[in-house]
C-alpha cells in the first residue's frame, strides 16, 4: 500500500504554510491587540457617565488612577471634558492602526499561501505519471487547483486568523462584564453554548453538501473544458444540441445542489440571528430592571449593552468558523488527494548509459488495468542500433503502447517482461535522461498557444533560428510557413487550432528533429499528410536521422515500404 506523504489535512496545511506563517503570526498578534483596544472605549464611556458626569466613585487600575490624579483628578476632567474625547480618539487611532496592520499581514500571508499552494500543486502535477493524468479529468484537476485553493485561502485568512481575536474578545468581554454584574453576565453567557451547539448541528450537513457540490462542479468544468477544446469536432458532427443538453443537465444538478446548500446556510444564519437578537433583548430588558432597582449604574448599563453587542459578532464568528470548516475540510481533502498521488521516481542507482545501442523487448506483456484484456502479450523484439524498423498493426493492436513503455510513460512491472537498451533495463535508466534521448512524434501532436517558432523550440530552448529553419525544411513545413503572414511568428492558437492536421504533425516532427536524439519514434505521425508530402518527408528523414535508431509505427504499409 502506498505511503501517504500527508496523512492528515493538518500536515498538508502546515506544509503549505511555509513562507507565510510569519505573516499570519503577526496578523494574529495585531488581531488580539485590536480586540483589547475595542474593549477600552466602553470603559471610558462608562467612567465618564458614572464618575465624571455623575458622582459615583469608580474603581480603576492603580496606573490609570495615578495618571488621572496627576492631571488634577475627577474635578479636572469635569472642567476639561475634551481630555476624555482625546483619550477616546487616541484609543480609536490605535485600534485603526492595529486593524490596518492586521489586514496588511493577513493579506500578505493569504497571497503568499496561495502562491505556494499553486506552485506546489503545479510542480507536483507535472511529476505525476501519465497513467494518473489518464484517470483524472483535466477539468476536475483545474477546479481543485482554483476553487479549492481559494476556499482554503478564504478559511485561513478570513476565519482562522480571526479566531484568536474572537477568543480574546470573548474572554476579555466576559471578564469586564463580570466585574459589572455577575447575574447579567450569566444571562449573556447562557446563549453562547446554544449558538455553538446549533453550529455543530449544521457542520456535518453543510460539509457533506459542499463536498457533493464540489464534485459536481468538477464534472461541469470537465464538460466545459472538453467542449471548448473540441468545439470543431462538436460542430463538424452537428452535436451542438446534444452537448448543450448534456451541459444543461449537469448544470441543473450542480445548481440544485447549491440551492439546497443555500437553504441550509440560510437556515443556519437565520437561526443565528434569532438567538443573537434574543440574547441582546434579554440583556437589555433585564439590565433595565437592574438599573431601575439601583443594582447597576447607568454608565455600567451602557457599557454592558455595548459589550453584549460586541459579543454578537465573535460568538457568531465561532459558528461561521465551524460552518466554513466543513467546506475547507473538503477542499483540503481534495488537494490532499493530488499531493498524496505518487510522483514518478527513479531508482537510487539510476544510470545514464549511451543509448546508441540495441533495443530489446523481452516477453513484454501489458494491460492497462486488472481485469482488462492484454494489450500486449509476450512480445519479443530486437532493434539494432542505428537501423530503421517499421512496426505495422491495426488500430488498438498495442503499437503505441509498446513505445509508451519504451519511453516509460507507463511503467512495465518486472513480472510482465523487460525492455533493455544496451542490456540495461529502461527502469534502471534516469527517466529524464531517457526521455531526453528518445524523441517521439505522436499521431495527434499537442501544440501550445504560442508562435510556430516557440512551439518548435520547446524541444530545445537554446536552438538558433537557423536550426529551427533546418528542422522545418526537413519536416517539409517551410513552404507552409512562408504562406503565413507572420511566418515563424504565427500564433497557432490553443492546441494548434489554426493549423491543419498535416501541419501540426509536421510541426511535431520539426520539434523532434531539432533535438537530434539517438532514438526517434514516429508513431503514425504521417497519417494526416498527403502521399506526395509523405514521400518527401521520408526522403528527408533518411538524411536527417542518419546514425539514429528510427522506429516507424504505422497502420499503412506504404509509410513503411
pLDDT tens sequence across 208-229: 777 677 778 777 877 787 777 6
* Closest-CA residue to 463 (of 519, 510, 529): 510
- Residue 368 pLDDT > 90: no
Say which residues have a Cβ less than 8 Å from residue 543's Cβ, sequence separation at least 6. 474
Residue 252 CB: number of other CB atoms within 10 A? 10
List the single range of 345-354, 472-481, 521-530 with lowest mean pLDDT.
521-530
Average pLDDT, the chain: 82
Q: How many CA atoms lie within 13 A of 466 on its CB side?
A: 0
Q: pLDDT category, 1, cuts 50, 70, 90? A: very low
Q: How confident is the model at residue 121, as a pLDDT?
A: 93
Give me the numbers of helices (H) and strands (E) for the chain, helices first please.
23, 8
Q: pLDDT category, 187, cuts 50, 70, 90? A: confident
Residue 536, Ramachandran bin (φ over 0: left; ψ between -120 and 50: alpha; else beta): alpha
* Closest-CA residue to 364 (of 375, 376, 354, 356): 376
Instruction: Please spell the DSSP secondary structure of 351-419, one letter per residue.
Output: B----SS-EEEEEEEE-SSTTSPPSEEEEEEEE-TT-EEEEE--TTSSHHHHHHHHTTSS---GGG-EE
* Percent residues over pLDDT 90 in the chain: 11
Domains of the chain by start residue, with CATH: 9-339 (1.20.1560.10), 359-560 (3.40.50.300)
Give the pairing type, strands 519-523 and 549-554.
parallel
- Residue 3 pLDDT > 60: no
Cα end-to-end distance, the chain, whole Å: 48
pLDDT tens sequence across 63-113: 777 777 787 887 888 888 888 888 889 989 999 999 999 989 999 999 999
Instruction: Please spell the DSSP secondary structure of 89-101, one letter per residue.
Output: HHHHHHHHHHHHH
Contact 462, 391 (CB under 8 A): no
Please tell me the distance from the alpha carbon of residue 441 to that of residue 445, in angstroms, as a whole number.
7
Range ranked top by mean pLDDT from 44-48, 226-230, 496-500 = 44-48
pLDDT tens sequence across 537-555: 777 877 777 788 888 888 7
- Residue 307 pLDDT > 80: no
* Percent residues over pLDDT 70 in the chain: 93
In degrees rounded to 5, what are phi and psi of residue 85?
-60, -40
| Residue scoring higher pLDDT (321 or 128) | 128
Q: How confident is the model at residue 339, as a pLDDT?
A: 92
Q: Which residues of 128-160 are buried (b: 16+ CB within 10 A; e: fewer)?
A: bbeebeeebbebbbebbbebbbebbbbbbbebb
List C-alpha distances in Å: 468 to 7, 382, 387, 488, 492. Answer: 48, 33, 25, 9, 16
- Alpha-carbon radius of gyration of the chain: 35
Instruction: Please spell the DSSP secondary structure of 105-151, one letter per residue.
Output: HHHHHHHHHHHHHHHHHHHHHHTS-HHHHHHS-HHHHHHIIIIIHHH
Contact 258, 285 (CB under 8 A): no
Amino acid at each position: 500500500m502506498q505511503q501517504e506523504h500527508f496523512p492528515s489535512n493538518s500536515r498538508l496545511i502546515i506544509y503549505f504554510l511555509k513562507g507565510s506563517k510569519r505573516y499570519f503570526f503577526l496578523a494574529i498578534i495585531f488581531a488580539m491587540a485590536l480586540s483589547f483596544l475595542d474593549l477600552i472605549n466602553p470603559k471610558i464611556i462608562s467612567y465618564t457617565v458614572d464618575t465624571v458626569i455623575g458622582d459615583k466613585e469608580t474603581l480603576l487600575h492603580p496606573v490609570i488612577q495615578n495618571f488621572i490624579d496627576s492631571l488634577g483628578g475627577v474635578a479636572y476632567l469635569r472642567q476639561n471634558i475634551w481630555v476624555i474625547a482625546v483619550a477616546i480618539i487616541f484609543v480609536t487611532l490605535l485600534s485603526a492602526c492595529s486593524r490596518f496592520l492586521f489586514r496588511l499581514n493577513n493579506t500578505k500571508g493569504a497571497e503568499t499561501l496561495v502562491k505556494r499552494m499553486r506552485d506546489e500543486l503545479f510542480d507536483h502535477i507535472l511529476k505525476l505519471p501519465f497513467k494518473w493524468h489518464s484517470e483524472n479529468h483535466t477539468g476536475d484537476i483545474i477546479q481543485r487547483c482554483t476553487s479549492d485553493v481559494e476556499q482554503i485561502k478564504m478559511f485561513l485568512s478570513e476565519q482562522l486568523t480571526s479566531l484568536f481575536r474572537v477568543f480574546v474578545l470573548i474572554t476579555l468581554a466576559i471578564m469586564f462584564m463580570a466585574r459589572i454584574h455577575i447575574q447579567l453576565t450569566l444571562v449573556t453567557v447562557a446563549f453562547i453554548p446554544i449558538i455553538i451547539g446549533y453550529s455543530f448541528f449544521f457542520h456535518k450537513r453543510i460539509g457533506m453538501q459542499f463536498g457533493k457540490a464540489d464534485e459536481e462542479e468538477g464534472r461541469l468544468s470537465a464538460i466545459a473544458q472538453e467542449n471548448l477544446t473540441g468545439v470543431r469536432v462538436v460542430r463538424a458532427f452537428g452535436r451542438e444540441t446534444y452537448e448543450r443538453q448534456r451541459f444543461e443537465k449537469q448544470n441543473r444538478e450542480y445548481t440544485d445542489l447549491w440551492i439546497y446548500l443555500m437553504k441550509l446556510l440560510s437556515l443556519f444564519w437565520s437561526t443565528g440571528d434569532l438567538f443573537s437578537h434574543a440574547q441582546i433583548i434579554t440583556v437589555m430588558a433585564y439590565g433595565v430592571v437592574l438599573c431601575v432597582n439601583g443594582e447597576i449604574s447607568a454608565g455600567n448599563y451602557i457599557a454592558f449593552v455595548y459589550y453584549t453587542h460586541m459579543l454578537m459578532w465573535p460568538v457568531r464568528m465561532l459558528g461561521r468558523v465551524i460552518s466554513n470548516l466543513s467546506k475547507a475540510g473538503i477542499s483540503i481533502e481534495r488537494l490532499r488527494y493530488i499531493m498524496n498521488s505518487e510522483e514518478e521516481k527513479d531508482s537510487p542507482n539510476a544510470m545514464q548509459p549511451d543509448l546508441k545501442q540495441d533495443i530489446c523487448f523481452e516477453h513484454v506483456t501489458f494491460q492497462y488495468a486488472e481485469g482488462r484484456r492484454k494489450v500486449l502479450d509476450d512480445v519479443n523484439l530486437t532493434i539494432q542500433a542505428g537501423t530503421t524498423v517499421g512496426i505495422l498493426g491495426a488500430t488498438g493492436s498495442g503499437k503505441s503502447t509498446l513505445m509508451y513503455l519504451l519511453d516509460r510513460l507507463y511503467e512495465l512491472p518486472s513480472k510482465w517482461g523487460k525492455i533493455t537498451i544496451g542490456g540495461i533495463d529502461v527502469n534502471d535508466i534516469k527517466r529524464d535522461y531517457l526521455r531526453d534521448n528518445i524523441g517521439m512524434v505522436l499521431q495527434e501532436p499537442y501544440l501550445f498557444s504560442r508562435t510556430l517558432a516557440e512551439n518548435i523550440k520547446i524541444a530545445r530552448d537554446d536552438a538558433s533560428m537557423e536550426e529551427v529553419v533546418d528542422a522545418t525544411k526537413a519536416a517539409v513545413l517551410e513552404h507552409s510557413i512562408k504562406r503565413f503572414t507572420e511566418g515563424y511568428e504565427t500564433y497557432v492558437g490553443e492546441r494548434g487550432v489554426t493549423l491543419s492536421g498535416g501541419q501540426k504533425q509536421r510541426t511535431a516532427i520539426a520539434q523532434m528533429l531539432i533535438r537530434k536524439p539517438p532514438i526517434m519514434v514516429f508513431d503514425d505521425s504521417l497519417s494526416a499528410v498527403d502521399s506526395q508530402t509523405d514521400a518527401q518527408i521520408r526522403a528527408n528523414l533518411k538524411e536527417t536521422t542518419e546514425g539514429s535508431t528510427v522506429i516507424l509505427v504505422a497502420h499503412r504499409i506504404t509509410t513503411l515500404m
